[in-house]
Structure 1
Amino acid sequence: MVALSGAHTIGFYKCRQFDFRLNGQDPFCDQQFAAQLRGQCSLRGSTNVVAFGSPSPFLFDNSYYRDLQNNHGLLLIDKVLFVHPQTKDLVNQFAASQTQFFQAFATSFVKMFSIGVLTGKFM
């Protein structure tokens, strides 16, 4: 799951998915980062979108994990991955080694794909 979460390195999020974390109460959200996001998400419940991932929301790399280390995660799952003792070491490993992340992501993605998709009455 930690490796697959690295897919968050690309894409965009609606402000309403995380704006509750921007009020200064979340110790796992860097306050300068939160202030920047407040400027992009001016109203609570805003339908504005914010790019996730530095340096680019279009580049698939390991920057997601470095963002987590800097408390720049947008979603609650991002926060949990970096503070939970069972996942923090993997976050640090993937932040340090893009090659390790790519290998783990590929293995995890193939495994997830092999599970299959439930459709129809099995959903």
Structure 2
Amino acid sequence: RTGWLTLRISIIMILLRSLIAFVGLLALAKGHSYHMGSCPTVEPQSGFQMGRFLGTWYVIQKTSTASKCISYNYTRGDEPGEYIITQDSNHPVLGNFYIHPGIELLIEIVPVSRGENCGK
């Protein structure tokens, strides 16, 4: 009888320690959160040169994706001030490199007035 009691106490202690460790790790976890409301005010970078920004950029951290080895390629568009962003990545299931034609994005660089917030 003493052996069973000792075994039960040991199991309870292991479960209690595991629960404490899990709650501790959960409290330390960092996560991405979404908020309602207006966009934050962002100051444009002074002296930004788009020509130096063009080319391939490799993603080192990104939320909400299962893809690996993601890169973005920034190129000039047909019109002045237009730029094209293309995302490339490795497909997690097929294991091959894939250029996402549907994720090609055309952006236009326009001057922003100070205090302007998300086009409002």
Which TM-score bucket, shorter chain as reference?
Answer: under 0.3
Larger-gyration structure (1/2): 2
- Report the TM-score when normalising by structure 1: 0.23
- Report the TM-score when normalising by structure 2: 0.24
Q: Which has the higher helix share?
A: 1
Greater length-normalized contact order (CA 8 Å, ≥ 6 residues apart): 1
